A and B are shown apart, each in its own frame.
Chain A
Amino acid sequence: MMTDDRIDALIRRLDVQSSPADGFVGSSAADLLVVARAARARDASRIGRLRRDVGTALTSVGAMVRPSSTTRSGVAWAVLVATLLLAAALVALLVGGQHRLPPPFGLAGNGRIAFMADGHVFTSAPDGSDRRQLTFGDGTELAPTFSPDGTKIAYRQFLPGEPASDPQLADVVVADADGRHPRVLDRAAQALSNIAWSPDSAFVAYSRAVSPDHERSFVAPADGSGPPHDLGASSDDSWGPTWSPDGTHLAMATLRGLFVVRRDGTDPVKLTHGSYVEIGQKGEGAEWSPDGRSILFSAGSPDGPTQVYLVGLDGAPERQISVDDWSANAASWSPDGSRIAYMRSGDGSGPVAVITDATGHEIRQLPGQYGWYQPTWSPDGRSLILTDDHPGPANDVGPAVRVIREVAGKAKPIVIPAPGVTLDMLPDWAASWQRVALP
C-alpha cells in the first residue's frame, strides 16, 4: 500500500519548470500589451497617477508597519497618513472628475452600448442591464454611432411609410447621447451611408444619392448650424467618407478606387492600385488606423470574393490581409491600433470573427458565428461587440448583440437581445460603444 508521503512525493514530481509554446507566448503577449497600454494610459491620467501613488503609498505604509512596528503610535501614524492620502484623492476625484471628456481617438473608458432593436435605437450598460429606448419615431432608426467625445449620437432615420425590407429615404439625425434634442441635419436622403464623426465631434460625414445614379459625400456641422457641404461637386461619385484621426482629411470610396481628400474635398489622392468591383460594402468606405498612417478597406475583386485590404498613405500598393478562400468584410481597428477585427465566411452557419495584429497576421478566430456587421471594439480595446442576426439552434435568443468580454480570453459573452435586426435592413453596423474619460 502506498503511503500518504509516497503519494505526496509522486504528485510533487509534477512541479517542474515547463516552457509555454512559442505561439501562445507571442499571441498572449500581443493581447496583454493592449491591457498594459490601457493601464499605462490610466496611470498617465491625473487621477490615475494619484490613485496609483496613493495605492503605492498605502501598501508601502502597510509593509513598513507590518514587519516591525507593533506600537500603538506607529499604527496610528500609518492610519493618519492613509486617511490624509485618501482624503486628498477624494477631493481630487470630486474636483477633477467633472466634465471630463475622452481624448478624440485612441484608448478611452467604456460607456454605454447603443444598438438597434425593433426598428429603434436603444442603449444599455455594457453588461446588458439598464436598457433604455432612445428613439420613438414612426419610422425606423438604425446604425447608431456615438460621437468620439461620447456626448452625442448620430443615426439614420428612415421615414415613416418606407418599407422595412427595403427602406430608401432617410434623415441624418444627431441627438444627445441620451436621445434627447434630436436634430435633422439632412432630410430624405437616398442611399444614405453610415454617418462618420469627425474626431472633434463637431462634424459628421456621410454619402447620399444626388440623382438616381450618382452618390456623393458630404460634411455637415453636427449642431445643425449650417448646410451640408458637398465634398465632390465636380468629381466622380463617392461614398462612405471617413475621417482621418487628425480631422484634416477624409477617405472616400469611388468608382476609380479609394481616395483621400482634404476636409473641404480638395486635393484628391488615389491610394489603391488594384481593380475592384466595388470598394466598401454596405456604405462603409474605409477605416483609418488610429495613427493615421494606413487605412483598412473591403473590396470585391472582379474574379474573387470580397477581401479585406490594408493600404498605407505612402503610395505603396495595398496588401490583402484576409485569406483568399473565404469572403471577408467589415474590418475595424482596435482603439490602440494594435489589432484588427473583421468578419470572414465560416462553415455556412454565419461568418466568424477574426482578430489579427496590425500587419494582418491572424492571432485568433473567436468562437461562434455572427452576422456580417462591423465588429465594434470597446473603447478600452479589451472587448468586442459582434452582432448576430440569424436565429438558429446555436442562437436561442434570436438576433442579439453579443459583447465578447476580454477578447483574449474565454469568458462567456454577454448577450443583449436585439430583435428586429435582419439582413434585409442592411445596417452596416448594429452597435456602437460610447467613449468616456478614463477613470
Chain B
Amino acid sequence: MTARTTVADGANELRAALGSDAAFEAWYRRSLPRVFSYVLSRCGNDVSLAEELSQQTFVAAIGQRVRFDGRSDVTTWLCGIARHKLADHFRALEREERRRMNLEVRQIQLSDSGASRPGLDDRAAIADALRSLPAAQRAVLAFVVLDDLPVAEAARLMGKSAAATHSLLHRAREAFRHAYGGDSDDD
C-alpha cells in the first residue's frame, strides 16, 4: 500500500465518522474500548479517571482531525493522543503531590504495604501497587514498560531530562517491588 493510499484510508475513516450522528456513534463505540483499555491499564485501573481521560482523548481527536496524517490506523492515533492526556494528568498529579509535600507519606505507606504479598498474577494487586506510586513513577512505568517507549521519548513526554528519567525508572521499579511485596522474594 502506498503512503498516499494509507493517508486516504485513515483520513476517510475519520471523515466518514464525522459525517453523520449514526456514523460517529458507531465509530465511537467501536473505538472506545481500545482507548479506554489503554488508559485504564496505565492509570492503575482507576475507572473514573480512565473514563475522563478517554473522553478528553476523543474531544481532542475531533479538534485535531485535520492533523491526522493517516500513517497509523485511527485507533492507534487515538491512543497516541491518550498518551499525551496521561502525561498531562501525571504532570498535574506530580505538581499537586509536590505542593502537598505528601511524597514521604506515600513512601511510608509503601513500606507498610509490603507485609502481605499477593499472588503473582493478581491484577488487582498489581494495579493497587502501581496506583500507590507517586505520579512520576507511575508515568515512567506506563510509558517505558507498558508502551515500550525509549527512555528518551518518555522523558520528552514527561518534560524531564533523559538522565533524570533513567533514575526515575530505577526508583519506580524499586518502589513497585516494595509496594507489591516482592522485595523479599527469592525468585
Contact residues of A with B, CB < 8 Å?
1-2, 4, 6-8, 10-21, 24-25, 28-29, 31-33, 35-37, 39-40, 43, 51-52, 54-56, 59-60, 62-64, 66-68, 406, 408-410
Contacts and interface: CB of A to CB of B under 8 A. Distances in A.
A13 to B, nearest CB: 6
A56 B55 contact: no
B18 A18 contact: no
B52 A25 contact: no
Contacts of A31: 55
Given A18-B41, A21-B47, A25-B29, 8 more contacts: A2-B180, A14-B123, A17-B33, A20-B51, A31-B55, A32-B62, A43-B18, A66-B71
Interface stretch (B4-12, B98-106, B157-165): B4-12
Interface residues of B, number: 59
Main secondary structure of the interface of B (DSSP, over half): helix
Contact of B62 (A13, A18, A35, A63): A35
B146 A13 contact: no
A337 to B, nearest CB: 12
Contact of B66 (A18, A55, A409): A55
Nearest to A2: B182
Contacts of B123: 13-14, 16
Contacts of A63: 3-4, 6-7, 69-71
A289 to B, nearest CB: 16
Contacts of A24: 51
Contact of A11 (B40, B130, B183): B130
Nearest to B36: A20
A40 B18 contact: yes
A32 B56 CA distance: 10
Interface of B: 3-4, 6-8, 11, 17-19, 21, 24-25, 28-29, 32-34, 36-37, 40-42, 45, 47, 50-52, 54-56, 58-59, 62-63, 65-71, 120-121, 123, 126-127, 130, 141, 145-146, 173, 176-177, 180, 182-183, 185-187
Contacts of B32: 20, 25, 28
B177 A18 contact: no
A15 B176 contact: no
A408 B28 CA distance: 15
A36 B24 CA distance: 7
A2 B187 contact: yes
19 contacts: A1-B185, A2-B180, A2-B182, A7-B145, A13-B123, A16-B41, A17-B34, A18-B40, A19-B33, A20-B33, A21-B47, A28-B54, A29-B25, A35-B62, A39-B65, A52-B66, A68-B3, A409-B55, A409-B59
A10 B52 CA distance: 26
A158 B24 CA distance: 49
Contacts of A67: 3
Nearest to B49: A410
Given A2-B185, A20-B33, A29-B28, A11 B21 contact: no
A4 B45 CA distance: 22
A13 B6 CA distance: 32
Nearest to A58: B66
